[in-house]
A and B are shown apart, each in its own frame.
Chain A
Amino acid sequence: MTAPSQRALSRLTPVLTKRWLSPDAWRLDVYERLDGYTALRKALAAHPDDLIQLVKDSGLRGRGGAGFPTGLKWSFIPQDGKPHYLVVNADEGEPGTCKDLPLMMADPHSLVEGIIISAYAIRANNAFIYIRGEAVHAARRLRHAVNEAYAAGYLGKNILGSGFDLDLVVHSGAGAYICGEETALLDSLEGYRGQPRLKPPFPATHGLYGGPTVVNNVETICSIPYLVLGGAEWWRSMGTEKSPGPKIYSISGRVVNPGQYECSLGTTLRDLLELAGGMQPGHQLRFWTPGGSSTPLLTEEHLDLPLDFDSVAAAGSMLGTTAVQVFSDKDCPVYAAYRWIMFYAHESCGKCTPCREGNYWMVQVLRRILSGKGSHADLDLLLDACDNLLGRSFCALGDGATSCVTSSIKYFKQDYLDYIEGRKAPLLSPNEADLVGAH
């Protein structure tokens, strides 16, 4: 493996991931030895409003996909004496995304510490971690960490003598991608089917149990202790002006060393590929997602695009969850779109027609194309279905579903035509719902 260049190496910013190298950091005593809970002590000595201002000054933007400014979100919470809630979104399920689970697995106390500080800032006395059901390994570490934190006086009544009380519950989901959408998550947490709510009103005023609620991603909340310690200016020394800070990029697919690479926001795919040891021998980059399957595909021409919120949006995609899935000339973009649409069809909550019907029909059309029975009109049909979905669905799941279809047709129309015009052998047999991606 050739060594990465100095330029690529200089992008690395081990902050949130640094403790991962200490295999026992999940234990309270080890966490404390590695400066754990010092940020909490510092924060409890400050005024909650000053903490909200600090987060605003840092420019921290939500790491769950949408990039909403965190400090601004916190300042929307009305300070009117009603109970407030903090809900951590640990439902990680956007295809390609695999950063929150290793974070909670290796360093669960950093999430607990971030939660206590954040709850103190927004004046919440009840906090919940909604963790994806399948993530039993990370939930096990979290439940253990929460129990340790209670025993040590970091949770419960009068935390460290500050007069601040906080209860924290780890709540396992039960297998539904849509529950990562924040209002569906709240319904699920209240014991209902996870279906999105109409917005507005937003959770900041009408959230869990109808009360003011902040919903933040795991990585967002885990950033807080470092911000409290190092300050907003230090935080801004990483990343770009509008996307400051470090970010965990998750690289998967046809690279030599897939994995988690925490880098300055704005790192390019070219640098990420260097860090990941380059493409696997015999594979050439063909298409990739900048931030999960809901973000439009990009190609080789985007190798030097800075992966920050605004630059990626300007290139017609989205930064999403920085889940960089790398596909090569050995992979078929039509099959990728087909398989992702199957995912959206399965995960559609069924509440609104464009998404429930649109994804179902797109699966049928893509299957027809891949089994050699497609026609030119099918391409228009797909684009038409996307047109009826994008901006017309009840929640962002429906919008996200269109990304892989429209972007693959935009960049790889020839691949579709090759199936339709019989230049490429069918990948599926006409009546087969089988999965045939492996080669």
Chain B
Amino acid sequence: MMATHNVRGDEGNVREGEVRDEGRTTSGPPPLTDATREKAREIMARYPRGRERSALLPMLHLVQSEQGYITPEGIAFCAEMLGITKAQVAAVSTFYTMFKRRPTGDWLVSVCTNTMCGVLGGDKIYKTLSEYLGVGHDETTPDGKITLEHTECLAACDYAPVMTVNYEFFDRMDPDSALEVVQRLQNGERPTPTRGARLCTFREISRQLAGWADDREGAVGEGRAGEPTLAGNRLAERYGISVAGFDPSTPIRKAADAAEKGGSK
């Protein structure tokens, strides 16, 4: 339900001290440590000197990689590292959909319900999963394992309808195959995505979002392009089509030459 204007930035004007931890549970997330600080400094070093604030988005991904969501502690941490106020950090973190305000499950299941996926079955898939899990948009199952959300177009409409688990794609889904993916996650299995690498947890993928390479052996090579990606190429190959006249040694015209020839163009 849209009780309020659901635009970005409604919650942006958070005043200091107003940042509440909606998701405080008895166990709570592990605290941020000196090692986190070290990683934050590594992120800051990627940007030109004096421009360290550019590190804020990756640093918020880093907070999620350790704590599973944007905690008040994480907001204070980023503020301290960057020398800005907590309100400034909160104004940014609440603007972006991928920064979660409540504890997120190990498995973030995102179902695309933008128009194309929606009409091809995405709306049904979302409904099916929502009913099965007993949670709505941006909610987590009571055991803390699975968070469900519906998302906007994921730039994979040629594979519609799609869903992702921790942002890895499961293509051309239907309610049954989507349900199977979720049930396998509940059984402790890790179903293989259609494209992209094998699954890792929400915290692990957040580490990659913070800018570090995937250090799992072979992961970068996993996930071949599917047929829709290759569709045009396959036709060109089958019918022997290529672009004529390509000569890689074609000289690059020099301004000096052009001037000599009377400056054509």
A residues within 8 Å of B by Cβ?
4, 9-10, 12-15, 17-18, 20-21, 23-24, 26-27, 35, 38-39, 42-43, 46-47, 49-51, 53-54, 57, 83, 92-98, 100-102, 105-106, 126, 132-137, 139-141, 143-144, 147, 169-178, 188-195, 209, 228-231, 233-234, 237-238, 246, 249-253, 257-263, 275-276, 293, 323, 325, 327, 331, 335-336, 339-340, 343, 345-351, 356-357, 359-360, 363, 433-439
Contact = CB atoms under 8 A, between A and B. Distances in A.
A273 to B, nearest CB: 13
Contacts of B177: none
B225 A102 contact: yes
Contacts, number: 346
B209 A438 contact: no
DSSP class of A's interface residues: helix, strand, loop or mixed?
A: mixed
Given A178-B8, A257-B231, A259-B231, A172 B247 contact: no
A192 B92 CA distance: 6
A435 B252 contact: no
Contacts of B155: 92-93, 97-98, 100-101, 132, 134-135
Interface stretch (B20-28, B29-37, B232-240): B232-240
Nearest to B59: A191
Interface stretch (B109-117, B140-148, B184-192): B109-117
A93 B246 contact: no
Q: Name, among A15, A57, A96, the residue most crowded by chain B CB atoms within 10 Å (CB to CB).
A: A96
Contacts of B152: 93, 95, 177, 343, 346-347
Contacts of B258: 53
Interface in B251-265: 251-255, 258, 265
Interface string B210-254: 111110000111011101111111011101011111111011111
A171 B224 CA distance: 24
Q: Name, among A38, A231, A259, A293, the residue most crowded by chain B CB atoms within 10 Å (CB to CB).
A: A259
A9 B239 contact: yes
A341 to B, nearest CB: 10
Contacts of A147: 213
B19 interface: no
B118 A259 contact: no
30 contacts: A12-B239, A23-B224, A53-B258, A54-B253, A83-B48, A96-B157, A98-B155, A106-B229, A135-B167, A137-B223, A140-B213, A143-B212, A144-B220, A171-B58, A175-B97, A176-B8, A176-B96, A176-B97, A177-B152, A193-B92, A234-B250, A252-B160, A253-B157, A263-B232, A336-B119, A340-B115, A356-B7, A357-B5, A435-B123, A437-B118
Nearest to B250: A231
A93 B254 contact: no
